[in-house]
Amino acid sequence: MIIERNNEILKILTQIFVDEGYCVIPISSEKNALEKVVAEKPDVLVIDILETSEESTGLCCEIRSVEEIKDIPIIALSTHVKAERIQSICADKLIGKPLDLYELIDAVESELPPE
């Protein structure tokens, strides 16, 4: 599952992962995203997080507080200067923007459960 506010980036990331053979659930808004995560229980979440504020990390922290989805690996994408704080707040991995697509694909693959 990819949660990204920028529709163009979301389309590109979705296509890249589909081309790599993944089933992708793209979400362009945090509105109702928590309910979608609970319903779908994706293997990995890729979430765009703008900054380290409570508002920006809110969804990520909410996911961590829901028992049935709290262990889903979260990979945060961010341009924030102190983006490493996002990882300490709620994410398993952090990928800075501009994105290195190979790094992102490797991060997702490393978080997937063994087949």
pLDDT more than 90, % of the chain: 63
Which token pair is 36?
């979608």
d(Cα 65, Cα 57) in Å, to the nearest integer? Answer: 12
Please state, rounded to an integer, the average pLDDT across all residues of the chain.
89
Write down the CATH superfamily of domain 2-81+90-108. Answer: Response regulator (3.40.50.2300)
Q: What's the pTM?
A: 0.89
User: What does the pLDDT average to over 42-67?
Assistant: 84
